[in-house]
Amino acid sequence: MAPTNDTAARPSGHQQLLRAIVRWVLIVHAALLVVQPFIAGTMLDGRSAGAQAWHLNIGMALPAIGFLQIVVTLLAWRLARWPQGAFTGSIAVWLLELAQFFIGYLGLPLAIHIPLGLLLIVAGVGMAYYYSYRAVPDAQEPASTPAEARPN
Protein backbone atom coordinates (compact mmCIF):
# COMPACT_ATOMS: atom_id res chain seq x y z
CA MET A 1 0.00 0.00 0.00
CA ALA A 2 1.32 3.48 -0.86
CA PRO A 3 2.35 5.56 2.18
CA THR A 4 0.00 8.43 2.98
CA ASN A 5 0.80 11.86 4.36
CA ASP A 6 -2.15 11.83 6.81
CA THR A 7 -0.13 11.59 10.03
CA ALA A 8 2.14 14.44 8.98
CA ALA A 9 -0.89 16.59 8.06
CA ARG A 10 -2.84 15.95 11.28
CA PRO A 11 -1.95 18.47 14.05
CA SER A 12 -0.31 16.92 17.13
CA GLY A 13 -1.79 17.27 20.64
CA HIS A 14 0.40 20.29 21.41
CA GLN A 15 -0.53 21.95 18.14
CA GLN A 16 -4.23 21.39 18.82
CA LEU A 17 -3.86 22.87 22.31
CA LEU A 18 -2.09 25.92 20.88
CA ARG A 19 -4.81 26.34 18.26
CA ALA A 20 -7.51 26.09 20.97
CA ILE A 21 -5.73 28.76 23.04
CA VAL A 22 -5.57 31.07 20.00
CA ARG A 23 -9.30 30.57 19.38
CA TRP A 24 -10.20 31.46 22.98
CA VAL A 25 -7.93 34.51 23.04
CA LEU A 26 -9.54 35.75 19.79
CA ILE A 27 -13.07 35.20 21.17
CA VAL A 28 -12.45 36.83 24.58
CA HIS A 29 -10.69 39.75 22.87
CA ALA A 30 -13.63 40.29 20.49
CA ALA A 31 -16.16 40.04 23.36
CA LEU A 32 -14.32 42.74 25.37
CA LEU A 33 -14.29 45.02 22.30
CA VAL A 34 -18.04 44.52 21.76
CA VAL A 35 -18.80 45.42 25.39
CA GLN A 36 -17.00 48.81 25.23
CA PRO A 37 -19.64 50.90 23.36
CA PHE A 38 -22.41 49.59 25.66
CA ILE A 39 -20.42 50.70 28.71
CA ALA A 40 -19.64 54.01 27.00
CA GLY A 41 -23.37 54.52 26.41
CA THR A 42 -24.10 53.88 30.11
CA MET A 43 -21.29 56.29 30.94
CA LEU A 44 -22.81 59.03 28.73
CA ASP A 45 -26.31 58.37 30.17
CA GLY A 46 -24.81 59.13 33.57
CA ARG A 47 -26.85 56.34 35.16
CA SER A 48 -24.00 54.29 36.55
CA ALA A 49 -21.20 55.63 38.70
CA GLY A 50 -19.02 52.62 37.89
CA ALA A 51 -19.36 52.77 34.08
CA GLN A 52 -16.37 55.07 33.53
CA ALA A 53 -14.13 52.85 35.68
CA TRP A 54 -15.29 49.76 33.75
CA HIS A 55 -14.60 51.44 30.38
CA LEU A 56 -11.16 52.46 31.61
CA ASN A 57 -10.34 49.01 33.06
CA ILE A 58 -11.48 47.15 29.95
CA GLY A 59 -9.65 49.81 27.93
CA MET A 60 -6.44 48.79 29.78
CA ALA A 61 -7.19 45.07 29.49
CA LEU A 62 -7.67 45.28 25.71
CA PRO A 63 -4.09 46.19 24.71
CA ALA A 64 -2.89 43.54 27.20
CA ILE A 65 -4.99 40.77 25.65
CA GLY A 66 -4.11 42.21 22.22
CA PHE A 67 -0.43 41.67 23.02
CA LEU A 68 -1.13 38.14 24.28
CA GLN A 69 -2.91 37.53 20.96
CA ILE A 70 0.23 38.59 19.08
CA VAL A 71 2.31 36.10 21.09
CA VAL A 72 -0.06 33.13 20.71
CA THR A 73 -0.74 33.74 17.00
CA LEU A 74 3.04 33.99 16.44
CA LEU A 75 3.57 30.67 18.26
CA ALA A 76 0.65 29.07 16.41
CA TRP A 77 1.98 30.29 13.05
CA ARG A 78 5.51 29.02 13.72
CA LEU A 79 4.66 25.81 15.61
CA ALA A 80 1.11 24.77 14.69
CA ARG A 81 0.75 25.67 10.99
CA TRP A 82 -1.77 28.42 11.80
CA PRO A 83 -2.17 31.03 9.02
CA GLN A 84 0.30 33.93 9.28
CA GLY A 85 -2.52 36.44 8.63
CA ALA A 86 -3.80 36.02 12.20
CA PHE A 87 -0.40 37.17 13.52
CA THR A 88 -0.08 40.16 11.17
CA GLY A 89 -3.70 41.18 11.79
CA SER A 90 -3.13 40.97 15.56
CA ILE A 91 -0.22 43.43 15.33
CA ALA A 92 -2.40 45.90 13.40
CA VAL A 93 -5.28 45.57 15.90
CA TRP A 94 -2.91 45.99 18.86
CA LEU A 95 -1.38 49.21 17.44
CA LEU A 96 -4.87 50.64 16.83
CA GLU A 97 -5.89 49.64 20.37
CA LEU A 98 -2.93 51.45 21.89
CA ALA A 99 -3.89 54.55 19.89
CA GLN A 100 -7.53 54.13 20.99
CA PHE A 101 -6.52 53.86 24.64
CA PHE A 102 -4.49 57.07 24.56
CA ILE A 103 -7.12 58.95 22.55
CA GLY A 104 -9.67 58.06 25.26
CA TYR A 105 -7.31 58.57 28.20
CA LEU A 106 -6.04 61.95 27.01
CA GLY A 107 -9.58 63.14 26.26
CA LEU A 108 -8.83 63.62 22.55
CA PRO A 109 -11.89 64.12 20.29
CA LEU A 110 -14.66 61.53 20.47
CA ALA A 111 -15.03 62.14 16.72
CA ILE A 112 -11.85 60.00 16.45
CA HIS A 113 -12.38 57.73 19.47
CA ILE A 114 -15.84 56.45 18.47
CA PRO A 115 -15.19 55.67 14.77
CA LEU A 116 -11.87 54.01 15.70
CA GLY A 117 -13.70 52.00 18.39
CA LEU A 118 -16.20 50.79 15.78
CA LEU A 119 -13.37 49.90 13.38
CA LEU A 120 -11.69 47.91 16.17
CA ILE A 121 -14.92 46.02 16.88
CA VAL A 122 -15.29 45.10 13.20
CA ALA A 123 -11.63 43.99 13.07
CA GLY A 124 -11.76 42.03 16.35
CA VAL A 125 -15.06 40.28 15.64
CA GLY A 126 -14.01 39.69 12.02
CA MET A 127 -10.78 38.00 13.12
CA ALA A 128 -12.57 35.90 15.75
CA TYR A 129 -15.11 34.78 13.12
CA TYR A 130 -12.55 34.18 10.39
CA TYR A 131 -9.95 32.39 12.47
CA SER A 132 -11.92 30.68 15.21
CA TYR A 133 -15.56 30.14 14.24
CA ARG A 134 -14.73 28.91 10.75
CA ALA A 135 -12.46 25.90 10.33
CA VAL A 136 -8.97 27.29 9.77
CA PRO A 137 -7.14 25.73 6.85
CA ASP A 138 -3.59 24.63 7.65
CA ALA A 139 -0.95 27.07 6.49
CA GLN A 140 0.70 25.74 3.34
CA GLU A 141 4.05 24.14 4.02
CA PRO A 142 6.57 24.56 1.21
CA ALA A 143 6.65 21.39 -0.90
CA SER A 144 10.05 19.73 -0.83
CA THR A 145 9.79 18.19 -4.30
CA PRO A 146 8.14 19.43 -7.52
CA ALA A 147 5.87 16.34 -7.45
CA GLU A 148 4.51 17.36 -4.02
CA ALA A 149 3.88 20.88 -5.29
CA ARG A 150 1.68 19.58 -8.13
CA PRO A 151 -2.06 19.84 -7.25
CA ASN A 152 -4.00 16.52 -7.07
CB of 101 to ligand HEM, least distance (A): 4
Rounded Cα distance, 16 and 115, in Å = 36
- Footprint of ligand HEM on residues 118-137 (CB under 6 A)? 118, 120-121
- Residues of span 19-48 touching ligand HEM by CB under 6 A: 33, 36-37, 40, 43-44
SS3 95: helix
| C-beta separation of 30 from 127 below 8 A | yes
Q: Is position 109 an interface residue for ligand HEM (rule: CB under 6 A)? A: no
Are 33 and 129 within 8 A, CB to CB?
A: no
Nearer to ligand HEM by Cβ, of 2 and 106: the residue is 106
Pattern 66-85, ligand HEM, x by CB under 6 A: --------------------
